[in-house]
Amino acid sequence: MDTTVETADRSIGAILVDDGRLTLKNAERIIRLQKTENLRFGEAGIKLGLLSDGDIQFALAKQYDYPYLVGRNGEVSETLIAAYNPFSKRVEALRAMRSQLMLRKFTGESRTKALAVVSPARGEGRSFVAANLAIVFSQLGERTLLIDADMRNPSQHELFRLDGRNGLSSILAGRSDRTAVERVPGFVDLSVLAAGPIPPNPQELLGRPVFADLLKELDSEYDVILIDTPSVADFADAHLVSARAGAAVAIARKHFTRIEQVRRHTEIMNRAGVKVVGTVLNEF
């Protein structure tokens, strides 16, 4: 007989039993100690050695509809720390960045909902930040789309374990349509548009009106659109994408990026009418 009762306000114990993390017998032991010593369920479970902090965080995330993935099950890359370890200090820093962007860009007053994620050179963590930032926005309940516009060295399809045979390049070349946008399993509000096959003319594709039209169409469907780009120093693609988006956030890496590079490229974007909403120092 199935005795699982699905309710919107299930207790921590019920969630852990339903997930197989706790047996009914051990749940009863925890409840007895809970009542005897006037403890919270989680505190009693930890005191008995039957639950871990991770178990409690998992149950709380379920209670508050805060999606993340349990265990390194290969659904997405382990690089996506916001997917697997949302309560770490590194992810807390990403949430702080999200809050700043909500205040500076995603206020509902901006002309578009698109934001280019740029950096002067490769190796500064731009794709890492873009991917994890997309996850924390989706965990907030924002309908989030991550576009991989780095059609020279794409990585988002690998990070999110997507097929990647269709994507942005396919759409811009007229070989596909918006069905190339894929929902990420486990995250209700997160979708990714992979870069697609590497084309011989990425800069020309991004310069076509179809890219601007695509962003305009997607703008009505999502609350947040983050766009990963190639390095600014190597290609003009990032400037094109930033101009189409109308706004950008610059990523710099501690002990790696030269501040003068960031300043120079920020000035170029400002002169092109791109609002640079901030610079983020990546310490990881």
Question: Terminal CA-to-CA distance of the chain, rounded, Å?
Answer: 50
Checking if the pLDDT of 213 tops 70, the result is yes
Mean of the per-residue pLDDT values of the chain? 87
Q: What's the pLDDT tens digit per position in 111-164? A: 789 999 999 888 888 999 999 999 999 988 899 999 999 999 999 999 999 988
Contact at 8 Å (CB) between 150 and 281? Answer: no
Q: What pLDDT sits at residue 1? A: 32
* Domain ranges across the chain: 12-63, 81-282
Q: Which residues pair with 227 in a beta bridge?
A: 116, 147
| Residue among 89, 121, 100, 81 nearest 229 (CA) | 121
Q: Which residue has the tokens 């979708």?
A: 191
- Opening angle at CA 198, ends 195 and 204, nearest 5: 85
Contact 95, 191 (CB under 8 A): no
- pLDDT tens digit sequence for 56-67: 777 776 665 665
Cβ atoms of residues 129 and 251 within 8 Å: yes
CATH topology of domain 81-282: Rossmann fold (3.40.50)
Contact 237, 202 (CB under 8 A): yes
The secondary structure of the chain in percent helix, strand, coil, rounded to multiples of 5, reads 45, 15, 45
Task: Please indicate whether residue 126 or residue 86 has the higher confidence score (pLDDT).
Answer: 126
